[in-house]
Amino acid sequence: MLREVWHSLVRVTSFIGKELREVIRRPGVLASLVLGPFFIMLLFGIGYTGARSPFRTEIVVPQGSQLPRDQEFYEDLAPGRIEVVGISDSQDATENRLRGQQIDLMVVAPENAAAQLREGNQTEILVAWNQVDPVYDGLAHLAVATMVAELNAEIIRQAAAEGITLAEGELGPQVTDISPEVVAKPTTAVTENVAPSDPTVTNFFAPAVLALVLQHLGVTLTALSMVRERLSGQMDLFRVAPVNSMEVLVGKYVAYGLLTLLVGGIVGALMVFVLNVPIFSGYVIAIGIVLLLAFASLGVGLLISLVADSERQAVQLSMLVLLASVFFSGFVLPVQDFIGAVQYVAYALPVTHGIATLQEAMLRGEVRSLWMIGALAAIGVALYLLSLVRLRRILRSAS
Amino acid sequence: MLTGPGVTTSPTGPDPVISMSGVTRRFNGITAVSDLSLQVQPGTILGLIGPSGSGKTTTIRMLTGTLEPTEGDIRVGGQDPRHFTRGMRERIAYMPQLFSLYTDLTAAENVGFVAALYGISWFGRGAKIRRALEMVDLWEARNRRAGDLSGGMQRRLDLACAIVHEPDILFVDEPTAGIDPMLRQAIWDELRHMRDDGRTLLVTTQYVGEAEYCDAVALLAEGELVALDTPEAMRHRVFGGEVLEIETDATVTPELITNVAEVQSVRQTAPRTLIAVVDDAGTATPRLMETITGAGIGVISLEEYQPSFDEVFAELVKGRRAERGEVDDAA
């Protein structure tokens, strides 16, 4: 019994040593498949600011309008969202510039909004834009809503000021206790973000990048390892030798797990010590999540390597996993934005749980979505068992 | 000792290490090996010889348990290869036909990896690696990556990997394919050394001449066993007796010796050269000398002729086709 255990340990370590040597001696593969996407993501992290360019806006103020004609007034209506590039009194000329994409937004101010308000009529403010990008279309709606609210307040303020002046003449100065600004904007918001970390782009995306790099590394490395052995006849050696599928799998899990954790450790250290990303949960919880994510990711890679018919197919499947991860994992778009059925796809990816739990752990200090930790472990165990069954079948298949 | 067409089984011999009985293997309805029966005694080399596509690799894969037979029974060391125990697996070795090692690992690392697969621990592994590499003359190349080795060196490295755990039974698939004659000789020397150490080997080859190195030979053609015997017995069986080559100092006709009692058949290969098949070379030689010199013709040489195994196998295959009524393309 003890001899069997010892021999088993020897066999497992033989795979660990062999896999590590092979990876180290194929730096080209490591560079193109692993470091390539990593550097692309790093470039994205460094280069992406999250700030959108303000809409180039031209305001049309008709001749009879009492609204101001200075650019600053209008820019203050939606700070950072619009850049007033001109004030015009010709709607046709401005519209031509909009169609020619010389400007992004056209706002036509009402001619006599305050008078219309006094008469109990609603005034239309025409806002037009020329966008095919749905994101910018949405942002334009948001900018317009903010701007119109501010403009409404300005109109109310003007009307209130006129009303107060009239009332002072009739009733005396005591009515001036309420300023036109208060009438126009009876409430103002005092804002506070109670999250324990600053919501910066770097802080928010760093755990996601770490999770994505870990999964991609684990999947890609392992996806290639077994498919080579299956196609080049080494499986026949394993079939004849006194080695079982569990020893082969454990050896590969440990070898690639070590490599994945090494790269993950380097990326994590860069984030914490260079980019100053906080780890409010402490290292133990974060490392625990990383271990689970690596375990599940290696399972994805091993399963790919056991079903792929060629190295090319293994690489293609790995890239498909990466693509699915970028779209559905919450890395770019929140998982909750997808319909229910697609959310199941998202939650089938280890990285979805890795991103959410790492962000919670690192940026909030606690993992509230504990079910995700369980899901990550369950995915890892399920993939291990699937790989084990598949490899056992391959080693036994004397078809 | 051996079973097969025209071979008698020895009832007193030791139990065979390898035995196949009525084994057939089909792939999608195409028969790769048909009704194959053979036995291999311990401490011998059985050469599985035949042209490409004759079923050699299929046979060896069935014997190692990497392929299931469609029909028939196989025993290696008394066990069904499909259900080898770990202990049994530790006793056997398989060298596949194609180079199947890790090109990014060095020669020593490859041998070390295979040694570890057989449970050989770090302690003492180094000595076994060295011994295996020295046996195939690759010790000097131990630190070279397997992918940088020549084709011949890669085959020897495969062999070193197969023998590192000192197996009792070796299945060696085409060890000399694509290797120069000098190296082929060296590899066969090594295989015979292992046989001399008491190991049992089943070796496939498409080089018919290598039958000489085997203790027994199974000739396969189109998935069927054409012949199974010792090389000498096979030669004897094909030609119906021992073969003598007679060279004379003058032109001679076959009729001159046809009537000598021991002579079964005579053919002329040159004006002054005859090939005679006799029952026993020892008794036939003086009678032939007497007959030829009695006719006033001098005998330059009269010695036993060793037909090459290419000739032997060509005759065997030709005979098999004739039995089946097939037209011989070469005729």
A217-243 confidence digits (pLDDT tens): 889 888 888 888 888 878 888 889 999
What string of DSSP letters covers A222-241? Answer: HHHHHHHHHHTTHHHHHHHT
Say if residue B305's pLDDT is above 90.
no
> What is the pLDDT confidence band of residue A356, given thresholds at 50, 70 and 90?
very high
Model pLDDT, residue B13: 61
Q: With b meaning 16 or more CB within 10 Å and e meaning fewer, what string describes A151-188?
A: bbbbbbbbbbbebbeebeeeeeeeeeeeebeebbeeee
What is the reported pLDDT for A127?
87
Question: How far is the C-alpha of B49 from the C-alpha of B26, rounded, in Å?
Answer: 20
Count residue pairs from A and B with Cβ separation < 8 A: 85
Tell me the C-alpha distance between B120 and B113, whole Å: 9
Q: Which residues of A touch B82 (CB under 8 A)?
A: 398
Distance from CA of A232 to the nearest CA of B (A): 6
Predicted local distance difference test score (pLDDT) of residue A359: 93
Residues 18-47 on A with a CB inside 8 Å of B are: 18, 21-22, 25-26
Q: Region A369-397: what's the mean pLDDT? A: 92
Q: Identify the pLDDT of residue B176.
A: 85
Choose the closest CB to B66 out of A14, A236, A243.
Answer: A236
Helix (H) / strand (E) element for A87: namely strand A82-88
What is the residue-averaged pLDDT of chain A? Answer: 85
Question: In this structure, are residues A240 and A396 in contact, taking their beta carbons and an 8 Å threshold?
Answer: no
Whole-angstrom CA distances from B63 to A396, B71, B74 are 14, 13, 7
What residues form DSSP beta bridges with B7? Answer: B4
Q: Name every chain A residue with its beta carbon within 8 A of the beta carbon of B116.
A: 10-11, 13-14, 17
From A243's Cα to the closest Cα of chain B, the distance in A is 6
**Chain B: nearest CA to A287, how far in angstroms?**
32
Look at residue B233 in the predicted model and tell me its pLDDT: 83
Q: Which of B66, B82, B113 faces A18 most closely, judged by CB atoms? A: B113
Distance between CA atoms of residues B95 and A124, nearest Å: 87
Is the pLDDT score of A166 beyond 70? no
Q: Which two tokens stand for residue B183?
A: 């190296």
Residue A24 has pLDDT above 90, yes or no: no
Pairwise CA distance, residues A214 & A223, whole Å = 14
Residue A133 neighbours by CB distance under 10 Å: 9
Residue pair A345/A325 in contact (Cβ under 8 Å)? The answer is no
Q: What's the confidence (pLDDT) of residue B73? A: 94
Q: What is the pLDDT of residue B76?
A: 94
Residue of B nearest to A396 (CA): B66
A155/A114 Cα distance (integer angstroms): 6
CA distance B161 to B128: 10
Q: Are B169 and B76 contacting, i.e. CB atoms less than 8 angstroms apart?
A: yes
Contacts of B104 in chain A (CB under 8 A): 21-22, 25-26
Task: Give yes or no for A11 touching B (CB within 8 A).
Answer: yes
Per-residue pLDDT averaged across B147-155, rounded? 88
| Nearest-CA distance A320 → chain B (Å) | 28
- Nearest of A148, A166, A75 to residue A109 by alpha carbon: A148
pLDDT confidence tier of residue A138, bands split at 50, 70 and 90:
confident
CB A206 within 8 A of CB A264: no
Q: Nearest CA to CA, how far is B232 from chain A (Å)? A: 33
CB contact under 8 A, B116 and A14: yes
Check: CB of residue A354 under 8 Å from CB of residue A294.
no
Q: Using CB atoms within 10 A of its CB, is residue B12 exposed (0-12), middle (13-18) or buried (19+)?
A: exposed
Q: Give the rounded percent of residues in chain A with a pLDDT score beyond 70.
A: 91
DSSP A24: H
Q: Which residues of A touch B60 (CB under 8 A)?
A: none
Residue A398 forms contact with B (CB below 8 Å): yes
Pair of tokens at residue B330? 């070469």
**Which of these, B37, B32, B103, B99, lies nearest to B61 by C-alpha position?**
B32
**Residue type (1 letter), A190:** V
For the segment A259-264, the average pLDDT, to the nearest whole number, is 86
Enter the tokens of residue B298.
């001098």
Sign, CA torsion A132/A136/A141/A145:
negative
Spell out the SS3 assignment of chain B.
CCCECCECCCCCCCCCCEEEEEEEEEECCEEEEEEEEEEECCCCEEEEECCCCCCHHHHHHHHHCCCCCCEEEEEECCECHHHCCHHHHHHEEEECCCCCCCCCCEHHHHHHHHHHHCCCCCCCHHHHHHHHHHHCCCHHHCCCEHHHCCHHHHHHHHHHHHHCCCCCEEEEECCCCCCCHHHHHHHHHHHHHHHHCCCEEEEEECCHHHHHHCCEEEEEECCEEEEEECHHHHHHHHHCCEEEEEEECCCCCCHHHHCCCCEEEEEEEECCEEEEEECCHHHHHHHHHHHHHHCCCCEEEEEECCCCHHHHHHHHHHHHHHHHCCCCCCC
Q: Quick one: which of A294, A266, A279, A298 has its CA closest to A353?
A: A294
Rounded Cα gap, residues B111 and B144, in angstroms:
12
Q: Which of B102, B105, B110, B174 has the most A C-beta neighbours within 10 Å, making it the best mutation to test the interface with A?
A: B102
What is the least distance, in Å, from the CA of A238 to any CA of chain B? 8
pLDDT band at B326 (very low <50, low <70, confident <90, very high): low
Closest chain A residue by Cα to residue B103 = A22
Which chain B positions have a beta carbon within 8 Å of A233's beta carbon?
A: 96, 98, 100
Nearest-Cα residue of chain A relative to residue B113: A14
Tell me the residues of B at the A interface, defined by beta carbons under 8 Å apart: 61, 64-68, 82, 86-87, 89-90, 92-94, 96, 98, 100-102, 104-105, 109, 112-114, 116-122, 145, 161
Q: Are strands B224-229 and B216-221 parallel, antiparallel or unpaired?
A: antiparallel
Q: CB–CB of B211/B314 below 8 Å?
A: no
Cα–Cα–Cα angle for A392, A398, A399, rounded to 5 degrees: 115
Whole-number Cα distances in Å, B84 to B22, B114, B192: 20, 18, 26
DSSP state of A366: S
Q: What angle do CA B273, B275, B277 make, to 5 degrees?
A: 160
Contact B117 A243 (CB under 8 A): yes
Query: What is the Cα–Cα distance from A257 to B40, expressed in whole angstroms?
Result: 46
Indicate if the pLDDT at residue A35 is higher than 90. no
State the residue for tokens 């069927």. Answer: B224
Which residue in B272, B281, B280 sits closest to B301, CA to CA? Answer: B272
ipTM: 0.77
CA nearest to B117 within chain A? A11
How large is the average pLDDT for residues B98-122? 90
Tokens 């199941």: give the residue. Answer: A344
Residue B66: which of A6, A7, A239 has the nearest Cβ? A239
List of residues 6+ apart from A102 with CB closer than 8 A: A56
Say if the Cβ atoms of A237 and B96 lie within 8 Å. Answer: yes
Q: Give the chain A residue whose CA is nearest to the CA of B87.
A: A242
Tell me the per-residue pLDDT of B174-233, one tens digit each, with 9 for 90 and over. 888 877 777 888 888 889 988 999 999 999 988 888 888 899 999 898 888 988 888 888
In chain A, which among 317-346 make CB contacts under 8 A with chain B?
none
- Determine which of B117, B123, B125, B161 to mutate to test the interface with A (most A C-beta atoms within 10 Å): B117
Task: Tell me the one-letter amino acid at B168.
Answer: D
Nearest CA in chain B to A228: B102
Q: Which of B89, B105, B109 sits opposite A240 (nearest CB)?
A: B89
Closest by Cβ to A22, choosing from B98, B102, B121 = B102
Q: Which residues of B16-40 are buried (b: 16+ CB within 10 A; e: fewer)?
A: bbbbbeebbbeeeeebbbbebbbbb
The amino acid sitting at B242 is E
- pLDDT of B4 reads 44
| Alpha-carbon span A391 to B122, nearest angstrom | 27
pLDDT digits (tens, 9 = 90+) for B7-61: 434 445 678 899 999 999 999 889 999 999 999 999 999 999 888 888 999 999 9
The token duo for A88 is: 């015009």
Chain A, residues 213-252, CB within 8 A of chain B, namely: 232-234, 236-243
Distance linking the first and last C-alpha atoms of chain B: 35
Q: Which residues 6+ apart lie within 8 Å of B186 measured at CB?
A: B137
Pick from B11, B21, B29, B16: which is nearest to B225 by CA?
A: B21
Q: What is the pLDDT of residue A173?
A: 61
Q: Six-digit token pair at A69?
A: 């004609």
DSSP annotation string for A258-275:
HHHHHHHHHHHHIIIIIS
CB contact under 8 A, A240 and B66: yes
